[in-house]
Amino acid sequence: MYILNKSETYFKPLNIINKTQITVFEFSGLSNDKEVAPLLFVFFLLVYMVTVCGNVGMMAMVHISPSLHAPMYYFLSHLSMVDLFYSSVVTPKMLSDLLSDRKLISFVGCALQFFFFAALASTEVFVLSDMAYDRYVAICHPLHYVSVMTKKKCLSLVALAFSVGFIQASAQTSSLFSLEYCESNLIDHFYCDIPPLLRLSCSETYACNIVTLFFVCFCSLSSMTTILVSYALIFSSILRIKSSAGRRKAFSTCSSHLMCASIFYITVFFTYLHPSSSALEKQDKVASVFYTVVTPMLNPLIYSLRNQEVKKAIIRLVQKSPNRHL
Domain residues of the chain, as ranges? Answer: 17-324
Whether the per-residue pLDDT at 163 is higher than 90: the answer is: yes
Q: Which of 156, 164, 173 is nearest to 116 (CA)?
A: 173
User: Residue 5 is which amino acid?
Assistant: N
Question: For 63-132, what is the HEC assignment?
Answer: HHCHHHCCHHHHHHHHHHHHHHHHHHHHHHHHHHHHCCCCCEEEHHHHHHHHHHHHHHHHHHHHHHHHHH
Task: For 191-214, write each residue's pLDDT tens digit.
Answer: 999 888 988 888 888 999 999 889
Q: Is the pLDDT of residue 2 over 70?
A: no
**115-156: pLDDT as tens digits:** 999 999 999 999 999 999 999 999 999 899 999 999 999 999
* Least confidently predicted of 34-38, 105-109, 162-166: 34-38
Exposed, middle or buried, 68 (CB in 10 Å: 0-12/13-18/19+)? buried
User: Considering only CA atoms, which of 236, 233, 219 is closest in space to residue 171?
Assistant: 219
Asked if residue 193 lies in contact with residue 89, where contact means CB atoms within 8 angstroms, the answer is no
Over residues 60-66, mean pLDDT = 88
Q: In a 3-state reduction of DSSP, which class is residue 226? A: helix
Q: Which helix (H) or strand (E) holds 26?
A: strand 24-27
- Out of 3.90.1150.10, 1.10.3720.10, 1.20.1070.10, 3.30.360.10, the CATH code matching 17-324 is 1.20.1070.10
pTM, full prediction: 0.85
SS3 25: strand
